[in-house]
Structure 1
């Protein structure tokens, strides 16, 4: 073997080694969360870190706190793109404003998966969400059932302009309409921005303004339902005299269900986030990638993997009951 051949072989070996190393490099995924204060979002972050591909080092996550500002999220998408992320997962704050994230990602040829909340576009790679119209319908039906479709309700809404507020509101309205004309009166309807702290004074004011008239509380998430419960207790009223429901299945709400104080419709944070990571990895790695999360077996009859290329994945809702509450809490330990 002459000197030139040896050099060629050595160079070839180095290049092969470099290529193998590149293939083994972790996939970089940027996760853009609308804000990190609420337990539900923290459950999503926990699920992301527990994904098998993250735990074994095959995925490198960067989680961004959008601070409840769609413009911040758009800027964070730019940062993620500039730092050569392989995929973006966004839990959007705003149904319209955060379309820019999809536009930016598409321009950079980076797959983007929308999770939890929705965007008013179909140009993303995929979305892994739950049907918020159905969730809003289910929670309102629970309230109205306890009221026998007769009386007065207040509706505590999510942040204005977000898909959760828009679509859960549609579900709320559908359930109310089914009671029939004049059966249910909506006394108040206002946002508390998914916040327990904001819902508390809002409900306090409504209890004073409509003394003895409020029969039901439809809160578009559990945190706001829990704020309403605090206000009712602070007014020395009996919580069980009210029909109250929320959405998400956060831990305090599950405990409130156990106490007979409210109904909660569980939104599966674990499935939404782990499903999103699997779909993002399929977009990056191609058809050879097989989903690693157990959520696809859990929901096999309701949500098919479909080769990881479906435009829309719908994670089912679960009503929290006194029968399943302890099991749901145990799963979080």
Structure 2
């Protein structure tokens, strides 16, 4: 082979590699924030998707830092950089609609996951029924206190779909117990530290009068537990519930300190990515194992507008297995 032929062959190989790289779908994931464990688990699941690990798709995860404006700016960046599809976990159900509109105008399909956005431009949504979980956690607390006494409600970020819908579920359960009084109700923004501060103040304001704690996520329920312990009180004198099934909550359930409901962020993330890849490549078949794990949530060729991932109540019978999965 002549020197010229070798040079041409090398150039062709380099061009082929560049073309292959350019053909790899580029998908962005705009998540509301990565400070807490649940969204960290969600993001890790996205990175562990077989299509990502095998190099069939390029995924970039953007930390929205719990700010709707930051999320919109990240959308603008993805539009400018020519991303092929976007997975959206919004901090605000209304404010996020503008970001979706911008992407839609640019011809970029957007798929929701975990939290909702009020937009008819969303191609599909993969998440769980937050009204149901809000009802389930509140009912646990109310059943444990015998449908009588005082409770506090620690809410998520005001305006996020999970806060809105879990509160709806909370209120549905509370309506079944008219003798229960909500003595305090405030947001702690999914934060364990903020919830601990709230609970410390409430224990001081209502000494001996709080029987139950409805925390709209595990982090906030765990913050309430820390406040109770710091006050020298017995956690077992309170009925406490959260949502998500984060690791510390699983351990708290095992210690009989609280109740939790597992939200499968792994399935939500990987399901959304399968849909996003399908939008870019119509011949794509899903690579995640979640579709076999949840037969009641069929793939249906990626054509459904909504995919509902079931909740799993954490119990003493399944908590060890769930903890082992975190190893």
Say yes or no: TM over 0.5.
Answer: yes
8 Å CA contact 1:127, 1:313 repeated in 2: yes
Matches within 5 A, 1:1-333: 21-22=19-20, 25-179=23-177, 181=178, 183-286=179-282, 288-300=283-295, 302-333=296-327
Secondary structure of 2:103's match?
helix
Residues 189-198 or 303-312, more deviating:
303-312
Alpha-carbon deviation of 1:45?
0.9
List 4+ stretches of structure 1 deviating above 3 A: 17-24
Secondary structure of 2:120's match?
coil
Q: Distance in 2 between matches of 1:86 and 1:72?
A: 20
8 Å CA contact 1:29, 1:88 repeated in 2: yes
Q: Unaligned regions of 5+ residues in structure 1, if any?
A: 1-9
TM-score (norm 1): 0.92
Alpha-carbon deviation of 1:18?
5.7
Q: Distance in 1 between matches of 2:137 and 2:120?
A: 27
8 Å CA contact 1:134, 1:168 repeated in 2: yes
Q: Distance in 1 between matches of 2:159 and 2:63?
A: 19
Residues 116-125 or 236-245, more deviating:
116-125
Question: RMSD over aligned Cα, in angstroms?
Answer: 1.6
TM-score (norm 2): 0.94
Q: Distance in 1 between matches of 2:98 and 2:233?
A: 46
8 Å CA contact 1:25, 1:58 repeated in 2: no
Alpha-carbon deviation of 1:122?
2.6
Q: Distance in 1 between matches of 2:273 and 2:130?
A: 21
Paired residues, what number? Answer: 315
Q: Distance in 1 between matches of 2:165 and 2:194?
A: 21
Residues 51-102 of structure 1 show CA distances to partners (whole Å, capped at 9, x for unaligned) of 0000001111111111100010000000011111111001100000011121
Secondary structure of 2:243's match?
strand
Secondary structure of 2:44's match?
helix
Alpha-carbon deviation of 1:19?
11
Alpha-carbon deviation of 1:329?
1.3
Q: Distance in 2 between matches of 1:292 and 1:111?
A: 20
Residues 237-262 of structure 1 show CA distances to partners (whole Å, capped at 9, x for unaligned) of 10011000000000000000000000
8 Å CA contact 1:126, 1:312 repeated in 2: yes
